[in-house]
Chain A
Amino acid sequence: MLKLNMTSKNWFLLITFIFLAALPFVATALDETFYIGFFSRILIYGIAAVSLDLILGYGGMVSFGHAIYLGAGAYVVGILAYHGVEGSAFINWPISIMGTENALVSWPLSILVSALLALAIGAISLRTTGVYFIMITLAFAQMMYFFFTSLEKYGGDDGLSLFSKNRVGGLEMNSDISFYYVCFGLFLGFLILCYRLVNSRFGLVVQGSKENDIRMQALGFETYRYRLTCFVIAGAGAGLAGALMANQTEFVSPSLLHWGVSGEIMVMVILGGVGTLVGPAFGAAALLILEEILAHYTEHWMLFLGLILIFVVLFARRGLYGSIFERGAGK
């Protein structure tokens, strides 16, 4: 990080950083505060897409159930806030978990719950590969979707509205600007964490296993454990994104766990560039901005999105970001 040589890629990243850092002020000055919320959403989806890229791009694990962890993270925030407002406990036995609207409690819990779910689902799914892996993760996604649909107490199909955004300790977070910066900070933190991760010994094992699992085992790696750990980290990241999402919309519902959302996150990864880490975050931005613009003109915007996606897959294999900035790079 210290020896930055200013390639066009680094200029691009720096400009993006400055843009994102200045966005709330510019938007306020221009009286376009809608964009503060909109870009919070992009950053949140960015976290989810980066987390999926960890397993998809670096681990070769094509999970079609990544929305599970997003939804679970969101529901943890929603359910705890519901009990927090009511002043009741979520559960009393074996330990008492009181409802809370404190982000310092509920967000780590979102991460933890999503990580545990990923551990259970990954432990089973990772015994398969290829198309079976896709199918089994999809099956889990459907199960979780219907599980949350059946939670009548928490709104069932209709979902659950939050009374307000979470507090951070004693600080209110009800200004869009402060929430935006929380998202921005967590996004950057998560991105840096992932960069370190994929270049660490752990990251190389996961990438080696993607390329040739048998060879890795023959070298002496018990690859299953590393792949599972990677799967859990990705789930935890998506859980954090879910917690933020619940706060951004102040609403959680089973639609967050729908397999279409898993597909959407995957599209973001492919659009931005599989295995480029920051690329999928740009993919998230591209998708959401396109959606916003196209939806302005036509309700059939999905059609145009489909065309763009076909173009990317056919002519820009490494995605929008990857094709421009990581061409020919070995990773």
Chain B
Amino acid sequence: MTEPLMSVRNLEKTFGALKATDGLYLDIAPHEIHAMIGPNGAGKTTAIRQFSGEYLPDGGTIHFKGQNITHLPMHKRAHLGMARSFQVSSIFLTFTAEDNVAMAIQAHDGHSFRFWKPARTDQSLRNPARKVLEKVGLLHRADIAAENLSHGEQRQLELAMALATKPSLLVLDEPMAGMGLEDSRQMLTLLKSLKGQVTILMVEHDMDAVFKLADRITVLVYGQAIATDTPEIIQNDPDVKAAYLGEEKTCSM
């Protein structure tokens, strides 16, 4: 295997008595779509938050592009090329769709201690923002305030913001959460179109989507990776079946 884009070693995070991340190992290869699955409470979101810097781990290391980023603040990781989408849409609701994406462009266009020129008419931000909106199929909604977009559109916008920073690693926390059938299908097509262009690490409950998209899947149980492999092998792994897929019957996902 080539040098991994991100590699996680023995990561640990404890909340009180709960070991949310308990010796997690993970390698993300360049250009792959890597899905992280696991039952509720397996520590998927906690893990993602440590990758992006929202939480600092109690132990272990995270390397990104060969650099130790374990304790690097969030904004610095973003500048290294890590972009993240959130489980609950974290867009700026009172801003228009285009404003939202322009903000992401601005974040990677030098410092923002610019006090005089109006930013909303700055074509060096607006043009690339419209290009990204076009890519995710939201251009016709560019001038709509984000709070007035449908749920599916908000998820698309969320992804657009992450894409706008031209990341090398896209960390997606349940990109299809709460989506209807049609919206999911659209998102699936969109993510597929990104395959090979950008490395994606995603947490997703929609198993159908996971098995269609992912090159490799890591199964997380009790804060540990119990298996990492291709979808076909994961599907037939007895441990995984026991720990996770079997539960599908008892708990609705």
Contacts and interface: CB of A to CB of B under 8 A. Distances in A.
A208 interface: yes
Contact of A200 (B54, B84, B118): B118
A201 B94 contact: no
Interface in A150-194: none
Interface stretch (A35-43, A98-106, A217-225): A217-225
A202 B84 CA distance: 22
Interface stretch (B6-14, B70-78, B181-189, B243-251): B70-78
A253 to B, nearest CB: 34
Nearest to B84: A218
A197 interface: yes
B90 A214 contact: yes
Nearest to A233: B115
A222 B145 contact: no
A200 B94 contact: no
Most buried by A among B74, B94, B99: B74
16 contacts: A199-B120, A200-B116, A208-B92, A211-B94, A212-B90, A214-B74, A215-B90, A216-B103, A217-B74, A218-B74, A218-B84, A218-B86, A218-B90, A220-B165, A221-B75, A330-B145
A207 B100 CA distance: 12
Contact of A217 (B75, B99, B122): B75
A226 interface: yes
B194 interface: no
Contact of B104 (A197, A219, A331): A219
B122 A201 contact: yes
Interface in B112-130: 112-120, 122
A205 B165 contact: no
A196 interface: yes
Contact of B114 (A200, A212, A215): A200
B78 A201 contact: no
Given A199-B119, A215-B86, A217-B75, A204 B106 contact: yes
B45 to A, nearest CB: 13
Contacts of B99: 204
A201 B118 CA distance: 7
A112 to B, nearest CB: 18
Given A200-B115, A202-B113, A331-B94, 19 more contacts: A196-B116, A201-B122, A205-B112, A211-B93, A211-B94, A212-B90, A212-B91, A215-B90, A215-B91, A217-B74, A217-B75, A219-B78, A220-B79, A220-B165, A221-B75, A221-B112, A222-B73, A330-B95, A330-B145
Top 8 closest pairs, chain A to chain B, by CB = A220-B78, A220-B107, A219-B107, A217-B74, A215-B90, A201-B112, A201-B114, A201-B119
B114 A214 contact: no
B78 A218 contact: yes
A323 B75 CA distance: 37
Contacts of B73: 217, 222
Chain B CB within 10 Å, residue with most, of A205, A207, A212, A226:
A205
B106 A222 contact: no
Interface in A254-311: none
Name the interface size band of chain A. Answer: 20 to 34
Best-buried of B53, B84, B103 by chain A (most CB within 10 Å): B103
B241 interface: no
A229 interface: yes
B154 interface: no
Contacts of A202: 112-115
A201 B91 CA distance: 17
Nearest to A196: B116
A203 interface: yes
Contacts of B161: 219
A220 B112 contact: no
A202 B161 CA distance: 19
Contacts of B95: 208, 211, 330
Contacts of B104: 219
Contacts of A216: 103, 107
Given A220-B107, A331-B94, A214 B54 contact: yes
Contacts of A217: 53, 73-75, 78
A95 to B, nearest CB: 29
A215 B75 contact: no
- Among B83, B99, B112, B120, the one with the most A-chain Cβ atoms within 10 Å of its Cβ is B112
Nearest to A215: B90
B108 interface: yes
A197 B117 CA distance: 8
A109 B118 CA distance: 29
Interface in B48-95: 52-54, 73-75, 78-79, 83-84, 86, 90-95
A105 to B, nearest CB: 25
A220 B105 CA distance: 10
Which of A196, A202, A215 has the largest count of B CB atoms less than 10 A from its CB? A215
